[in-house]
Amino acid sequence: MTEKTAAAVQEFLKSLRVGEKQHKDGLTIFPLHSDMKSDYDYLTLDEALKEGVIRVTEVGSGTVPEIRVLNKGAKDVFIMDGEELIGAKQNRIVNISLIVPAESETGIPVSCVEQGRWHHVSKEFCASENISYANLRKKQKASVMYSAERAGKFQADQGEVWEDIACCMSARKISSPTAAMSDIYKKEKSRIDDYKDIFKPEEDQIGAVFAIGKNIFGMDIFDKEATCKKLMPKIINSYVMEILYGDKSANQPDNKDAEEFLRAVYESQFSSRKSPGAGMTVSITGKTAGGTSLVAAKNTVVHTAIFNKAEHQQQKEKPAEDANLSYLSNPSRRRNFNISED
């Protein structure tokens, strides 16, 4: 089962084609296409919450790294890693992409993105327009993969998540009474909205490779165009967050760079383990990139999220001149920030 699952991911990755790039202000997006089509019928998290077929709550009186999803509907529900859920005792982000089966209850691994609150503001979690901004999501992915490999659990480094949010707020001079990631998005919303009409999905697009400046940063791929259209705007916003204070004149990568990145990914090592929900999680570990794929019934590769490895990317980058404007350059520099408490 595990070998067939990994093989299905490799086959899917090899089917990908790179479309014509889109570029603006330091962000380059390469659309991805495939002839492999999925007929897997499911709801996204936002759809399921809107239709009222799922309830997302704290586990008992509350525990930071896990929340509970009750799916009362007749369809499976797909939840993408990095998705934010707001309310209950504190806002959370989902650690790993997963499927909540129809008519089931599932505990899902999460991380807190609101350090300063631990009391109910609502009985249930609500949908959010946001996911983890790209740098936070990349670090979260790395720590979750490490946890899965070493301990068999899909847990992130919670302290690292809080530290990253604090650094981001400090760099942007944002104050939040509860240190909530959502307040960063709220502050930057008008600037993010300026990019809405610039980056638009192509026909038949199922994913994208993203570059910040001259470096490939990561990619997200879905099993079908419909899901890509629903979730790609959130992913694009998470990358736009990273360029608002970046170098707008950086060189752009070419299609060959995106294709090279794809080759490095499907030449990686693949290992499978049971997902927190239905299906399997495939860890993808290469020399220059790493991430995970969620594989559902009939070996459908529902979602793949891959990020360029930090150490590989840092070899290509020159030291940033201004630490406050380059908190996204590497983790060690971010730990050196003088974080204000206001």
The band of 327, judged by pLDDT with boundaries at 50, 70 and 90, is very low
Q: Is the pLDDT confidence value at 331 over 70?
A: no
pLDDT, average across residues 181-207: 95
Phi, psi of 295 (to 5 degrees): -115, 125
Band of pLDDT at residue 340, cut at 50, 70 and 90: very low
Q: Which of residues 121 and 321 earns the better pLDDT score?
A: 121
- pLDDT of residue 250 exceeding 70, the answer is no
- Coil, strand or helix at 330: coil
Residue 317's pLDDT band (cuts 50, 70, 90): very low
Stronger pLDDT, 16 or 329, i.e. the higher one: 16
Query: Which pLDDT score is estimated for 249?
Result: 63
Query: Which residue matches tokens 């070899």?
Result: 315
Using CA atoms, how far residue 22 sits from 18, 92, 176, 208, 253, in Å, is 12, 31, 34, 10, 11
- Mean pLDDT for 220-243 is 97
Report residue 64 as tokens.
């930071």
Which region among 63-77, 208-222, 319-333 has the lowest average model confidence (pLDDT)?
A: 319-333
Q: Where are the alpha helices (DSSP H) in the chain?
A: 2-14, 45-51, 134-151, 158-172, 181-193, 225-243, 255-266, 310-316, 331-334
Residue 305 token pair: 């999220």
For residues 298-334, b (16+ Cβ closer than 10 Å) or e, as one string? ebbbbbbbbbbbbebbeeeeeebeebeebbbbbbebb
Residue 14 has pLDDT above 70, yes or no: yes
Residue 325 has pLDDT above 80, yes or no: no
Comparing CA positions, the residue from 44, 42, 59, 43 lying closest to residue 125 is: 59
What is the pLDDT, as a whole number, of residue 326?
35
The mean pLDDT of 55-62, rounded to a whole number, is 97
Give yes or no for residue 126 having a pLDDT over 90.
Answer: yes
pLDDT at 2: 79
Three-state DSSP class for residue 8: helix
For 250, the token pair is 């950086």
What is the CB-side half-sphere exposure of residue 45 using CA atoms within 13 A? 25
**Dist. CA 209–CA 262, nearest whole Å:** 9
Q: Residue written as tokens 């942007």?
A: 172
Task: Tell me the average pLDDT across 147-168.
Answer: 97
What average pLDDT is seen over the chain? 90
Q: Provide the residue type at 103 as one letter.
A: E
Phi, psi of 213 (to 5 degrees): 65, -130
Q: How confident is the model at residue 17 (pLDDT cuts 50, 70, 90)?
A: very high
The pLDDT-based confidence of 310 (bands split at 50, 70, 90) is low
Rg of the Cα atoms in the chain: 19
- Per-residue pLDDT for 194 more than 70? yes
330 band by pLDDT with thresholds 50, 70 and 90:
very low
200 falls in which pLDDT band (50, 70, 90)? confident
Nearest-10 Cα torsion for 311, 313, 315, 316? 180
Query: How far lies 144's CA from each of 2, 81, 110, 139, 341, in Å?
Result: 19, 10, 10, 9, 28
Mean pLDDT across the stretch 106-116?
98
Eight-state DSSP code of residue 152: S
What's the average model confidence in pLDDT over 320-331? 37
Cα of first residue to Cα of last residue in the chain, in angstroms, is 52
Specify the pTM.
0.90
Task: List all residues 6 or more positions away from 80 whose beta carbon is below 8 Å from its beta carbon.
Answer: 44, 45, 94, 97, 131, 231, 303, 305
Query: How much is the pLDDT for 335?
Result: 32
Residue 139's closest CA among 338, 328, 333, 271? 328
The dihedrals phi and psi of 311, each to the nearest 5 degrees, come to -65, -35
pLDDT of residue 42: 98
Q: How far is CA 234 from CA 80, 178, 189, 318, in A?
A: 11, 23, 12, 29
